[in-house]
Chains A and B, each alone.
Chain A
């Protein structure tokens, strides 16, 4: 597609349920990022995928959070046993490759509300 696509755009879930957020990066982009933006906060790095390399998971806040990227394209961020503090906007981004001068392009985000 023309840009980074994320789904769902909005999700309301009950505390304790699992949720999956999907990201479809720009075609041909090998680098994929997940960030979290809580209300009134900046952007918190969660995880980074680059090609077939092992992902950088250093930003995942707890073992309830996991992500995978299948076939080097679509990525899914999974949050197990959701808590109210997980309520945030989850932003996915992609970049052509790991060249650090590349621009990172963001999707519109998935707005998660845990009630």
Chain B
């Protein structure tokens, strides 16, 4: 069965510092990996995805993520955090033999001025 783990419920970072939100996955075959962001009282917004190719994927709002097959990880990163990045972030995975997108439990990012 496929699964996603986001080990941190909350990540706190000062504005201007780099941020990392962690994600590990378990899936049969090659994974399709996604990051979404959810602002308060809103739906989910797509940030970026890894399908194949370069392990470093760049997405919206300056975010990027690195696919690491040996560590089965897909951590979300940003070189310089903004207060406006404060939100709930979800990692998701889809295996090669399933249509469902399975989500992690989410990580709340708090960026302090």
Give the B-binding residues of A (Cβ under 8 A): 4, 31, 33, 35, 41-43, 45, 48, 50, 56, 59, 91, 93, 98, 100-101, 103-109
Contacts and interface: CB of A to CB of B under 8 A. Distances in A.
B11 to A, nearest CB: 16
B99 A107 contact: no
22 contacts: A42-B104, A42-B106, A43-B44, A43-B103, A45-B101, A45-B102, A48-B100, A56-B99, A59-B100, A93-B44, A98-B99, A100-B95, A100-B96, A100-B99, A101-B49, A103-B34, A103-B46, A104-B101, A106-B36, A106-B44, A106-B45, A107-B43
A106 B103 CA distance: 13
Instruction: Give chain B's interface secondary structure class.
Output: loop
Interface string B64-92: 00000000000000000000000000100
A93 to B, nearest CB: 8
B94 interface: yes
A106 B43 contact: yes
A105 to B, nearest CB: 7
Nearest to A44: B103
A98 B100 CA distance: 10
Contact of B90 (A4, A42, A103): A42
B20 interface: no
Contact of A108 (B42, B52, B95): B42
